[in-house]
Amino acid sequence: LTKRTFFRLFRVNLKNPVCPFWKKPESEEAEKSGGSTCTGSVPTIGGGLFGGPPSSSGFTTLTASPEPACGVDSDGDSSTLTSSAAEEADRVDRTITVQERVASQERENDTENCEFEEDLPTYWVDMCSGDSDKGMALEDVNLIKNEERNTGYNGSHIWQAMYKENCFEVGSSLPRGRFDAREHMCYEERVLYRLLSGWHASTTISIVKSFYAPGTKQKKGWAPNLERFHSDIGLHPERTKNLHFAFVVILRAVRRAAPFLESYPVSTGDEQEDAKTRMLLTRLLDSQLLSLCSPLFEAFDETRLFRQSASPEQRSQLKRQFKSVFQNITVLVDCVQCQRCRLHAKLFSLGLGTALKILLSPPELISTSITRDEVIALVNVLWKLSESMEDIVTLSKQYREQHGEQKASIKVPSTPPAHVPVAVMPGDLGPAVKHSLLDLALGAVRKASSMGVLGNAAEEKVLQSLVVQPASEEMLLLARHYADRPDLFARLALQAAEASGGKAPVAGPALLLGESGRRADAIIIGGGLAGMAAAMTLLDRGAAVVLIDKQPYLGGNSGKASSGINAALETSVESLVADTTKSAGGLARPELIEKLAKSSADAVSWLKDRTKVDLSMRSQLGGHTEKRTLRPSNAFVGAELTFAAGQVLNKAASESPEKLRLLLKSKWKGLNRADSGDGWVARVEVNGSEVMLHATSFVIASGGFGHDAKEAESLLLANRPDLADFPTTLGPQTTGDGVKIARAIGAQLVDLDKVQLHPTGFVDTKKPEEKTKTLAAELLRGVGGLLLDNKGKRFADELGTRQAVVNAELKAAEDGRSYASPSPVRAYAIVLNGKAAAVADRHVTLYTKKGLLTKVDGLDGLAAHLKVEKSQLNATFRAYNDAAMVGKDEFGRKIFPAHWPIESDEVFYVGQVVPVIHYTMGGIAINPEGQVLGTDGKVMPALYAIGEASGGVHGDNRLAGNSLLECTVFGRHVGLNLPIAQAAPAPTPAISAGEGVEEAPAAAKEELQEISAEELAKHNTKEDSWVALYGQVYDLTEYAEEHPGGAEAIWDVAGQDGTETFEAVHNRELLESMGFSPIGVLST
């Protein structure tokens, strides 16, 4: 059906996407970095198929900059060979037949495009919309000619935004949290999460199925990346479950819309073709066929949505949130910076949205609200999901055959859903039932092994009892009811195998890392950057680590950091020491500050290498005398670093459970010395049960206490009661658990009254009194953002230290210069002129989309928006321009970014900000080694504190950019020096962000022949295309036609050294990630 003309043509805008994120940077630093719009610093899957955070949003028009046409996911860094923007039109195959052109002209698109009240039956009509509804430049693209596959593009930052920045926040009485915070999810949020997860899984399967280009792994056709499939899908059955869930939702929508679809006026201008299409559509909708799927339909029931809210008001809020979150996700699709994968992302998002519209709208509205684009998308997404489930079976079989072992990768369940009863009588298990139950048992054993429940010997013994010996009926019945709890199933299966007298040697009882008898080298509490840096370093040394976090994902507050990470890489250590000391004030501790500054270059260099995150942009933030704050050229620094590190650790936990045990959604409850006096025993709540975990050393990286005002024992209120009414930018997990437990066991606490107020937390004018604010990044003031009072006057040096700016805000509030109600107390305006906004483009567009910044035209528009006199604004900006010219203003400001002169006819971006609780400088006392000090001032053996849980590093006030630096320096240092059972020299990291690529063929490792420039020049035709890259020669003849950037990009440099052209948008790692092997070395 999807191959028919009607369904293979999808009308879409691929040339002029309106993207709320990630516009290509145009600053000098970005140009020097060689970055491109087609970058996302971390691969998409591994630990992060369902993870990673970035930030909010804002619209801007993405102009016609070069963009590779490539796949949504990649195995390494982004991009593919692309030479110039002139090739843009050829990156998607736009050729259509005469018949298709006629069909295109037959199109009619009618749709409603308005907002409705939540309780009206028409509320869901605008749940989704195709590009046809947006008045864009449209074209009909043939989906068959533009299959979804790998081309090297990395869209991880987009998946991050989809998962981690869409929150349901509808009042304290309802669950709230980011996607993947599943214990906090309401039913509605779980539905959206699982749909997004199913979409992501389907996309991933398409990518790994056609991963290696022709001529790399096999002569003809695309080859799969089976290792990538196994690690990203095979070891994660929950991803296949979510794929099935999305399939069920689409099926329910198709069944509900069947009367409409059966009579849909398929029209392409070819009556014979249309008749075939209608016949196939009727077969799809056949009621008898759909009735066979009826047990599946029970997996989801749309009538349960919006039924559990406490009040009509909350139900309305939840509906708004549900629709808004989905629409935000669909808007993000325009940020996919490649045409082929944007095509498929648009198709998938529209198909899911159409299904939700059908299921949530009254039946009588379906025929009047569903457009042709939506019908096409719905049917194609149904096919994509169905195809993905078939691909799982095929790829799993290929993986097992390749490895020559019967490892259960993952299977499409052949048994009925668990809630459908199956009567099984003792002694009456037929062959089919036995096969199905054995399949469940093997899958449970494989999962238990990957979780670390079974060691290799124990796994072999259980498998022998299931396969070598006939599996007992008791074992199969156990699998029937407990395969979904693989840890319990595996333990009982092992006991049964041992009781039956199996002779396979077993090393001992199957113990999880950290349990008594299998003590870990270290337990780390906290999955922010500090904890992750320590864990990665320890793993590189061969240590056994348990990493615990009470959130359902890694990253913590580190994931919110947006301004950058400091490092004395191209600036002096002395200046970093001086700036940090000045910010720390009277509580500066020279030994800790010197440790931070002197280790900064090595630690940050290691972090870049370990995570593969681009930190090419340098800027100068408030309180700094040098440009030393690093961030990615096209992404948020905290989101990129924590997501990449999370991938490394999730992959390590999956592949080496004997070395890393990850416990998420687990709360640390207490800590005691081991009875032997050597090591620690931690009480941790895991899955509702309290367990005791044992380790030689213990690392507290659990964060600060800036969000504990509502805790029974609030450190914030006890030490800073004056801040009780201040909002915060911190996550709700920031409740000081680690600090409190450390105090209980005798640790010394310092500087608890030193709570950093950030001067700029955005006020959402729709929810001005909301407690949790979005941070207005330091960068906004760093590029030239000005703070204005209620009269339009400046009152501070915007680039002073955070505390200095906050003090100015508090003083201005006392003088009556802040905004009055309905604005919250201590609210001021932040204003960026057009030139400043261009430098902070990505931040500005994000905040604008979220409604936190408003774009106005000229001084007249700004005065009207702020409700102040234009003459006063004119005077304010004239005074600022004059001060910038001489290099100093009345507030002592001496640094003026290149955004002046501020001109009256510029566009301006304006929002409201308030001072917010942002960081707690106080915490657990440490020495420069990160060791915890007791109340007597002595080191507490084998106990460490790092990150915001520690105290003293920042003194009175933390310097901007030093938070991520502290996490990296002290996390890395503790990881390097903490004693482990079998210490070994730190090897080259075995697991790194973006790995998982199949090894090159053995021939590629042999000594390569030398190829002269003269010989290279002979291979310069379409039929024989050799290209030199980084001193090596590649035969790209077969790949050229498959290159999504157009074959001309390769043919243009055939017979030449194409390194410079290649580096304009790519990097060296792409060659390896795509499976290319050199045929020779270019002789010099």
Q: Provide the annotated active-site residues.
A: 758, 781
322: Cα separation from own chain's centroid: 20
**Residues present in the chain in total:** 1084
Instruction: Quickly tell me which residue has 């039109």 as its tokens.
Output: 89
- For residue 472, give both structure tokens: 């007992």
Q: How far apart are CA 970 and CA 974, in angstroms?
A: 6
How far is the C-alpha of 559 from the C-alpha of 501, rounded, in Å? Answer: 52
Q: Which residues pair with 692 in a beta bridge?
A: 683
What CA–CA distance (Å, rounded) separates 740 from 718? 12
Per DSSP, 25 falls in state P
- Distance (Å, whole) CA 1037 – CA 1020: 10
Phi and psi at residue 487, to the nearest 5°: -65, -45
Residue 826 CB partners (closer than 8 Å, separation 6+): 809, 810, 813, 818, 914, 915
In which element (H, E) is residue 29 found? Answer: helix 28-33
Reduced 3-state DSSP string for 218-240: CCCCCECCHHHHHHHHHCCHHHH
Residue 950 CA to residue 930 CA, distance in Å, equals 8
* Sign (positive or negative) of CA dihedral 86, 92, 97, 99: negative
How far apart, in Å, are the Cα atoms of 862 and each of 185, 338, 505, 842, 908? Answer: 40, 36, 78, 22, 7
Instruction: Order across the sheet with 629-631: list the strands.
Output: 565-566, 629-631, 617-619
Asked if 1075 and 998 touch (Cβ cutoff 8 Å), the reply is yes
Q: Which contacts of 28-34 are long-range, i.e. CB under 8 A and separated by 24 or more positions?
A: 29/616, 29/617, 29/618, 29/619, 29/633, 30/616, 30/617, 30/633, 30/634, 32/616, 33/614, 33/616, 33/617, 33/633, 34/616, 34/1063, 34/1064, 34/1067
Distance CA(244)–CA(198), nearest Å, equals 7
In angstroms, rounded to a whole number, what is the distance separating the alpha carbons of residues 168 and 165? 10
Give the Cβ contact number of residue 302 at 10 Å.
16
Quick check: bond before 43 cis, omega within 30? no
Nearest CA-CA partner of 984 in 515, 544, 348: 544
Note the maximum CA span of the chain: 94
Distance separating the N- and C-terminal Cα atoms of the chain: 56
Task: Collapse the DSSP code of 272 into the 3-class scheme (helix H, G, I; strand E, B; otherwise coil) and give the result.
Answer: helix
Give the SS3 label for residue 445.
helix
